[in-house]
Amino acid sequence: MFKNIMVPSDGSKHSDKAVDVAITLAKKFDSKVTAVYVLNENTSFSYDVLEDEGNKILKKISEKGKNEGVMIIEHLITANPLRDMKTIAEKTQVDSVVINAFGKDNSRDIIIGSITDRIIKTFEIPIILVK
């Protein structure tokens, strides 16, 4: 457990908290972190703009990991995050996930985002929820 920790990030302050927790756990358990940024395949935004944003977010995570002596493996993936997160976790062979309750599109009216809800309900590996 905790040998390869996945942390999905959208670059929000909420995701940053999850990244910090994942790096702290990885340092404690001598693990690596699989940082994932998903380019939503159903977006109307420019792919190039989203790809640039994703690469910046992943680079920031890698720099945090390097500063703490933690190996970060970056994955920039085009997918449907609601549908494909379990497949992404399986393909990257993670054994746990650290995720925030909600990301950029948070609302004070919701307790947990739809992607996080799906991960909690469908994953069979430990999930650490960061609020």
Beta bridge partners of 6: 34, 97
Question: Which pLDDT band holds residue 43 (cuts at 50, 70, 90)?
Answer: confident
Q: Which domain holds residue 54?
A: 4-130
Q: What pTM, to 2 d.p., does this model score?
A: 0.89
Q: What is the pLDDT of residue 41?
A: 84
Mean per-residue pLDDT over the chain, rounded: 90
User: Considering its fold, how many domains does the chain have in total?
Assistant: 1
CATH number reported for the structural domain that contains residue 15 in this entry? 3.40.50.620
127-130, strands of its sheet edge to edge:
72-79, 32-40, 4-8, 96-100, 127-130
Q: For tokens 């990030």, what's the residue?
A: 9
Residue 26's pLDDT band (cuts 50, 70, 90): very high
